[in-house]
Structure 1
Amino acid sequence: MIPTRLAEHYEAKYAAERTAPPPDPFPLAAPRPTHRAAAAVTALALLLPEGADVLELGAGNGVVAESLRAGGVPFRSYTIGDISPPRLAGLRRTFGDPRIRFAHADAERPSATVQGPFDAVVMIALIEHLVDPLGAMRDIRSLLRPGGFAYVDTPNLAKWTRRLKLAAGRFPSTASTDEGLTTYAGAPADLYDEGHLHYFTHRSLGLMLTRRCGYAEAAFHPYFESPRFLGERLGTFLARARPTLFSDVACVARTS
């Protein structure tokens, strides 16, 4: 189970989402997505089978679900699970589609409150927050149908910008500034590096999922998000040519 300190942090952090406006959807077929959620939408629109049952854990403002719904992806059900009651309350206000369901779910062990099987489990900017990612990904695999997949997006610790920070003797924080002590908005961080507890590379995540969590294979879907001065076209080319250097980690781990 998620520790009380973490649960309190996320409930306070997302308190304003009870009344947040609905998100603007991303297109299904972005040729060069420049946001992790947009990249996920583009990949999932191609990967999801018709009539899929989907579980998204830690769904943020619901933009992935809304993009797939608005784009006409023919899923059968889409369950949004989150640990934060304010966030769930806001998401319930957003969606009127009866195919979209909600669950107060702890991503450390979602099977305790969510019943599968699912064709896909979506986790964007979540695995790095988990206390026990090994145990969580094993539990998530138990919720998947044979041939189903987990889509996992997480910061790439080996991205070239973070390698430069390490070379300069600085901590390459992935959700904050000032060595993990200051939020992007300039406020003192409540949790170090905004609650990121684990750091991954393409190789480390792929090996963890296949060697230790029971997934049959792990494939990557690179995309460009930053730094902006590279430009969308060049950044996308570099991300696809050398994802371990220029892309964050977007992994599709399939069951056998």
Structure 2
Amino acid sequence: MASNLIILTGASRGLGAAMAEQLLLPGHVLLCISRRINDALGSKALAAGAQLEQWPRDLADPAAVAGQVERWLGTFDAARFDGATLINNAGAIGRVGPLDECSNAELSSALRVGLEAALLLSAAFLRATRDWRARRKLLNISSGLGRRAMAGNAVYCAAKAGMDHFSRAVALDEAHRGSGTRIVSLAPGVIDTDMQAQLRASGASGFPDQRQFLAMKAQGQLATPHAAAARVLAYLQRDDFGSQPVADLRD
């Protein structure tokens, strides 16, 4: 049986919770990092024979969390795992509306959670596992808004665009090293999550595309978190994972 270590951020709800549940498999060691613990995962891990750790952490303080992750990874034998994966899923949309209507604290927190945390955790993961025999993968959960600007979402668009581009750069670094580590920044499509609910509830004056999001919900165009998680994890297992460092499940 293959032994795999997976680190997943933003695992307490939505897409992250659905991925966490589907990653609870025999032989898996799963570390979930979220602001809140997902109580339902504990009993499911026991039933599945998976090893689960949950850390309640605020990724608005990413340097501290990245340091803890690096030290935790350093406790494992370099020959233990067949595979090691980091999934940077956590994100924050912040206040919906024009940039100047958001406070500096709101903008800073959203950018730290959505971009800085992913970058620092990726660096920690790569450093700590550099000498591991495991096949290493790094999956960043991006968004179409990282590739298409939308009014009222400047900080979220910036975070996801930054995630895409740092993934391209890291892919070049790893190819130059010949390390075999593969990285993808993946847009998972439109999913029925709390973030979507926040967009639909936003005022049209600060979010001109509100009507479009209301229509997608009314017309049943949103994927469930469970279905989207299954597609994301299937992509993670593809033989060509990493051949394109920026990808979209809808392509």
- Quickly name the TM-score band, shorter chain normalised: 0.3 to 0.5
TM-score of the aligned structures, taking structure 1 as reference length: 0.44
Q: When the two structures are superposed, what TM-score results if normalisation uses the length of structure 2? A: 0.45
